[in-house]
Structure 1
Amino acid sequence: MHRSFARRGVLGAAAAMAGAALLAPGEGVARAAGLTGTRLPTRFPLPNGFQPEGITIGQSPYAYLGSIATGDIYRASLATGRGSVISHGLGVDHPSVGLKIDRSERLLFVCGGVSREIRVIEVRSGKLLKTFTVGSDGTMVNDVILTPGAAWFTDSFKPQIYRLPLGRHDEPGDRLATVPLGGDWEQGHSFTANGIERTPDGRALLLVNTVVGGGGLMRVDPRTCIARRVDIGDTRLPNGDGLLLLGRTLYVVQQTQNAIDVLRLNDSGTRGAAVARITDPERFRIPTTAAAWGDRIYLPNARFDVEPAPDTTYDAVAVDQVRVPQDL
């Protein structure tokens, strides 16, 4: 591995958001309870033909990954690298793209890509609990972040995001709001929004925009839906995909570049500076998203550069987190 340093209402939702507590700040790294000192695998296989895209990890040492090919959800043990499908999808027309697990590890919130679906799955049983259909023709529900009171989803082909209210224990509500993006948001002719996170202070959202400034980061105020470009200097994110925030350190997966750009943000998420770039030519095969456990970052290899087939091999890999001085 090599590192080089270098105003419309929101369908009635805006008023409800304005007076509510906003977003939980970054909680840092999940504890490696029970596995301290254990040599965990840094690479593990996924089922042939799986076509992974999203990954999420809770407080327990298990990774959950979604399949573009079938919509299946696969769970892998970080201790052994072995796993199995815990929820069977509905086929190629119902892919599973980005996903997140809730705090109690009871529910998975899954983006359905071009199916326009948002799904909520019970982890223990694999049962599909709720399905929402959002957007319009051409919508692609791509990534999701959970915050206190809401789950937020990106649409890669429309200048809007989606807000699903959550209860006290992260149980999903029954109605979902479409949130148009204003301010500095620039919508390209095709793929634009991708990964989503929250700012370190928890007051706003961060979204990848592959168009603005040659590829950049946008800060979205959830109360007003106004987007402002984050000042990240000369760094460009034209292939920015998944985002992972640990404290004030933001990992941006640069997909077809086979790299992760690491930024140090200020608390409000209005500015950031590049502090490192992680590459791994031997193991990165177009990673898309990232999740943390212990002192590692885990990424699925989507292999978008090959024609998928039932026997195409896929895997997930782990890299060490970057140690960033706290005074930066």
Structure 2
Amino acid sequence: MSGPLSRRAFVAAVSVSALLLTTAGTATAVPTGTTHAASTAYPKHFDLPNGFQPEGIAIDRGKAYFGSRVDGDIYAADLRTGKGRVISQGPGTASLGMKVDERGRLFVAGAAGGNGRVIDTRTGKVLASYTFTTATPTFVNDVILGRDAAYFTDSRQPVLYKVPIGRHGKLGAAQTIPLSGDYVHDTVNLNANGIELTPDRRSLIIVQSGTGFLFKVDPRTGVTRRIDLGSTLMTAGDGLLRSGDTLYVVQNRLNKIAVLDLNRSGSRGRLVREITSPDFDVPTTAAFFGPRIYLPNARFSTPPTPETPYWVTAVSR
């Protein structure tokens, strides 16, 4: 996340909760007629356009979608070949975290624009646009999809933004959910970044990048409780991805993925291992496909130019 149980051939994830929350990106599915062996034959490295500056990723129907931090363009790549093209022109501001639902709608976080939008992946048409806030600073960073809502984080404001999803996928007016409880807003460093569901699917999980804390969030009230990881911190935490009780936390500038085992309620967890790759260069967000995790490399430490190369890395779970 990142809709309800998918009828599409490729399912990014399935989650059902007492709150009817479901998120793309929480479980693995392999397309009909495709084996795990076939999916592992796909390239583990493929290039994005030079100068693209990727951040978010979502996978659906054998395609991976990426957003540009330069101008918000959306690029779609075929996972079998790594080849792709821009399917939707951006608004001139960044596109960050994204998730795709069962209707082929891509929900995109709009960074410093304080906004989000919903794009038809078949046509590239913008189906809906939301101005979540006119406050400054703002940095709408990531999104998770639920059966009845999409939730967006803001790394510069102590809030979540909710877009209700009604019957037949009807999109409602945006709402703001203030964060309270254990969460303490930092006016200097990045705050809420990646977002996911707890294993029992009753609450949300957010990572606060600056502190490395994970928080469990009541999606109705915004009340937060810090998740007990002992002395372990998710420093530089970015994208979150969950399968069952396993939470994958992308630690961007540390060039690794922390793999956590959570209890069912999401109140406690422990670090069980880390995933690294020599191909990583500041990976940001992640999406499942078969037995793999795919990540775009944002290369934050490399001065961006129109000719700077960017690429995608796939690693085994």
Please say whether Structure 1 and Structure 2 have the same fold, judged by a TM-score greater than 0.5. yes
Q: Report the AA paired with residue 133 of structure 1.
A: T
2:304 corresponds in structure 1 to 308
Q: How many Å separate the matches in 2 of 1:27 and 1:292? A: 8
2:54 corresponds to 1:52: yes
Instruction: Pick one of 78, 94, 109 that aligns with 1:111.
Output: 109
Question: Aligned letter for 2:216?
Answer: R
Q: Cα distance, 1:88 vs. partner?
A: 1.0
Contact conserved, 1:55 with 1:66, CA < 8 A, in 2?
yes
1:95-140: CA deviations, max 9, x gaps?
1011110123x21101110011111111111011211112211111
Question: Which residue of structure 2 aligns with residue 7 of structure 1?
Answer: none
- Please give the residue correspondences for 1:92-107 in structure 2 after superposition, counting only pairs within 5 Å: 94-104=93-103, 106-107=104-105
TM-fit CA distance, 1:170: 3.2
In the other structure, the counterpart of 1:6 is: none
> Does structure 2 conserve the Cα–Cα contact (< 8 Å) formed by 1:24 and 1:201?
no
Q: Distance in 2 between matches of 1:170 and 1:207?
A: 25
Q: Which residue of structure 2 lines up, in the alignment, with residue 207 of structure 1?
A: 206
Q: Give 1:89's aligned residue.
A: 90
Q: How far does residue 27 in structure 1 lie from its aligned partner after superposition?
A: 5.2
Give the Å deviation of 1:312.
Answer: 0.6
Distance 2:282 2:254 in 1: 7
- Contact preservation (8 Å) 1:32, 1:293: no
TM-score of the pair, normalised by structure 2: 0.89
Partner of 1:291: 287
Match of 2:184 in 1: 186
Q: Secondary structure at the match of 1:34?
A: coil
CA–CA separation in structure 1 for the residues paired with 2:98 and 2:153: 11
| Counterpart for residue 214 of structure 2 | 217
Q: Is the 8 Å Cα contact of residues 26 and 241 (structure 2) preserved in structure 1? A: no
Q: Which residue of 2 aligns with 1:273?
A: 270
- CA drift of 1:35 comes to 3.2
Aligned pair count reads 294
Structure 2 counterpart of 1:76: 77
The residue that corresponds to 1:317 in the other structure is: 313
Whole-angstrom CA distance in 2 between matches of 1:109 and 1:284: 26
Tell me how far 1:70 sits from its aligned partner.
1.6
Unaligned runs of 5+ in 1: 1-19, 322-328
8 A Cα contact 1:102 1:170, kept in partner: no
TM score, norm. by length of structure 1? 0.87
In the TM superposition, residue 33 of structure 1 has moved relative to its aligned partner by: 3.1
Q: Give distance in 1, aligned partners of 2:31 and 2:213.
A: 33
Other structure's SS at 2:237 match: coil
Query: Which of 237, 243, 250 pairs up with 1:246?
Result: 243
Is 1:24 matched with 2:37? no
- The Cα shift of 1:247 comes to 1.1
* Runs of 4+ residues over 4 Å off in structure 1: none
Within 5 Å, give how 1:121-132 maps onto structure 2. 121-132=119-130
Deviation at 1:165, TM superposition (A): 0.3
Whole-angstrom distance in 1 between the partners of 2:19 and 2:159? 21
Read off the aligned partner of 1:86 and give its amino acid letter: I
1:142-195 per-position Cα deviation (integer Å, ceiling 9, x unaligned): 00000110000000011101000012343322x111100011011112311100
1:63 offset after TM fit, Å? 0.6
* Structure (1 or 2) with the larger CA radius of gyration: 1
| CA displacement at 1:234 relative to structure 2 | 2.1
Asked if the contact 2:55/2:96 (under 8 Å) is kept, the reply is yes
The answer to whether the 8 Å contact 2:177/2:221 transfers is: no
Whether the 8 Å contact between 2:293 and 2:314 is mirrored in structure 1 is yes
Q: State how far apart, in whole Å, the 2-side matches of 1:169 and 1:201 are.
A: 25
In 1: Cα distance, 2:47 partner to 2:26 partner = 29
Q: Read off the aligned partner of 2:239 and give its amino acid letter.
A: G
How far, CA to CA, are the matches of 2:169 and 2:249 in structure 1? 26
- Are the aligned partners of 2:192 and 2:206 in contact in 1 as well (CA < 8 Å)? yes
Secondary structure at the counterpart of residue 253 of structure 2: helix
Match of 1:63 in 2: 64
User: Is the 8 Å Cα contact of residues 65 and 74 (structure 2) preserved in structure 1?
Assistant: yes
Q: Please, which runs of 5 or more residues in structure 2 have no aligned partner? A: 1-17
One-letter code aligned to 1:125: T
